[in-house]
Structures are given as structure tokens and as C-alpha cells.
Amino acid sequence: MTRFPANRIYSASAPCRIDCGGTWDIKAMALPYEDVRPTTVNIALNLRTTVTLRPFKKGRVRVCSEGFRHTEEFDAFAPGLKGTFVLFAAAARYTGVHGVEIAIKSEAPVRSAMGGSSTALVACLCALAKATADAGSRSMTKKQILHVAYHLEDAVSGGGCGMQDQAAAVYGGVNQWLWWYSNTNVLFHRNSLADRRRIKELNDRLLVAYSGKTHSSIRINRKWLADFHSGKTTKGWIEANQKVSNFAHSLHVGDWKGCARWLREEMAIRREITPEALIPETSVLIWQAEEAGCGARFAGAGAGGVVWAIGPRQRIEALRKAWEQTMAGIKGGRLLECAVDPKGVC
């Protein structure tokens, strides 16, 4: 293992994301059903997570994060990994770095269903790769960072992780992902949906709000997988997958009414197959968006966190006023001033 240099500081940052089609990126769903072309669309946002590495005590790894009251310290040489920040201790263990403090700072709300832990892990691995490269080890490409981040998080969590959060953090931009876990070389196909001109248009037709309620995705995702494999919701998931493909096409060609329509239709299916993803606050926001002629949905696994909307510019402007009034009555709730982030981890 390599001791972190005593006189250096390294940092890296990565964007969070909003999404539709989430859960189809989980291998347990996507692999047996590759014939339906499992897909996810996500939009990287410039609410970035920054990870800064500083020297610390030899043989130790300390992790701290804004939004969490406590820090955790790990023995880099001891067997076993556990704790709130175990994912980042595992990243240090994988790269062979010790004597380091890992400090995490996010511009997105904590536990807001915007891919926070995965985004932080991608930034952490990028910063660690910079440190190990300076120490004479091989650096990591974006493709390698994504590969390690996904498998590391899936392993530490005991399985059931998807790849879309890490993918958005690594590549940024607006992308449709087709999940091909049977492929021995590349586990996905990335279809970029927006060039610089389309991103500029999208920024005027996008609205993001934080519900004031945090969320936890592990329990929800496990229920969704169980319902899917039991056959209870399989048909609905496949129908929703087609709506997401249609949404991707409309976004690619700048058909904003089409984007709103397909998101509304996907959300209608989600109400049936994933009702636990909605809470009163997010239900109201989505209803207001649909009444305004936009489409809206929860990010990630929902049950709190963020809601986002898309539609023609004038309708989004009208929705902004409605959401501002609603958020004024929700403790901790607020509109998030953000835009599409065309850059990935750096």
C-alpha cells in the first residue's frame, strides 16, 4: 500500500443527476430481459460533489462529509469494512492508499435521490487515481473509474446496485443508456441526446425541486425487484421502458411537448407499479406539473428527494410560479437553481 504524500492535496468533482427509467439499470432486472432493450435516461446537473484528499495519520483513513455530523476513521490494514462511509474506505483500500483524509462536499441536498453516494464515489476514485499516478502507479481512465465504481458499490452493498448514477457522474451531459450486462467488453451503450445547442434549449425547459424530505433507496429498490421477478409488476415495467425510449427520442430531436407527454405516461405507470415512490409533497408537485402541461417525475427511487419537470418553455415558466408557491409551504423544500452539466468527473 502507498502512504498519501505529506505535502499534497488532491481533489476531483462530479455532477449529480436526474433520471427516468431508473431501476432498469440494475443487473437483476436488465440481464434476463435484454430482449426488451432495458434503458435509462439521465441528465447530469451542475450541482457537483467535490472530494478532497489531505494527509492524515499513517495507516489510517478518515472520511467526513458535509451534511453528516460525525466522521469515521478506518484502519487501512485491518480486515473488515463497516460504517456509514465504508464505501470510501473501500475505495482507498482498492487503490492501496493510506494516511489520507477523504472530505466530501456536495452542492446537491443530502440524500435527495440524485445519485449522491455514487457521485461522491466516482469523484473519490478520480482523486485517488490522481494521487496514485503521481506516486508512479497507473492512472485510471473514465471507463475504468466507472467500472470500478459500479462494481465496488455493488459489492459493498451486497448486490442490487445499478450503474446509471456512476455513469452520469463519469460522463456528464444528457444520455440514454442501454444496459447490456451480457456483453463481455462493455456493459452498456451510451447514446448522447444533446449537443451544446440542445443543452441550452433544455436548460430553459427544465425545473428541479427538492421536496424537503430525504430518501433511502435500498429498501425500495429491493421491493421493486421482488415485485418484478414475481411477475406482479413485470408487464408494467416493460411498458414503462418503452415510454422512456420514446422520451429519449423526443429529447434528442427537441420535441418538448413529446418529452412532457412521454414523461407523463411513464409516471402514470409508475403510480401503479411503484406507489411507494410518492409522498404527499412530491405527488402535489407532479400533479401541478401535469396540470400545467408539463411532465414530471421523482428522481431515483423517490419516496422523498427531488422532483423534476420538463416541457415547453412557457409552460415551465408558469410551473415555476406554481412550484415556488408550493415550496414556500414545505419545510426545507426549495427550487434548485441548476443547469445541465456537460462535463463529467474531473
Same domain, 24 and 55: yes
Q: What is the pLDDT of residues 132-143, one digit of tens each?
A: 999 888 789 999
Task: Flag whether pLDDT at 124 surpasses 90.
Answer: yes
CATH number at residue 238: 3.30.70.890
Quick check: helix, strand or coil at residue 20? Answer: strand
In a domain, 253, yes or no: yes
In a domain, 16, yes or no: yes
Same domain, 216 and 171: no
- pTM listed for this prediction: 0.95
Of 159, 192, 225, which residue constitutes the final position of a domain? Answer: 192
Show Cβ contacts of residue 183 under 8 Å, excluding neighbours closer than 6 positions.
Answer: none
In a domain, 6, yes or no: yes
Same domain, 215 and 126: no
The pLDDT value given to residue 159: 82
Total domains present in the chain: 2
Show Cβ contacts of residue 297 under 8 Å, excluding neighbours closer than 6 positions.
Answer: 20, 263, 266, 267, 270, 286, 307, 308
Same domain, 186 and 202: no
Of 133, 160, 192, which residue constitutes the final position of a domain? Answer: 192
Of 157, 192, 227, which residue constitutes the final position of a domain? Answer: 192
Same domain, 34 and 109: yes
Task: Flag whether pLDDT at 218 surpasses 80.
Answer: no
Q: What is the pLDDT of residues 283-321, one digit of tens each?
A: 999 999 999 999 999 999 988 999 999 999 999 999 999
End-to-end alpha carbon distance in the chain: 24
The pLDDT value given to residue 61: 97
CATH number at residue 21: 3.30.230.10
- Domain residue limits at 255: 196-335
The pLDDT value given to residue 139: 84
Average per-residue pLDDT in the chain?
95
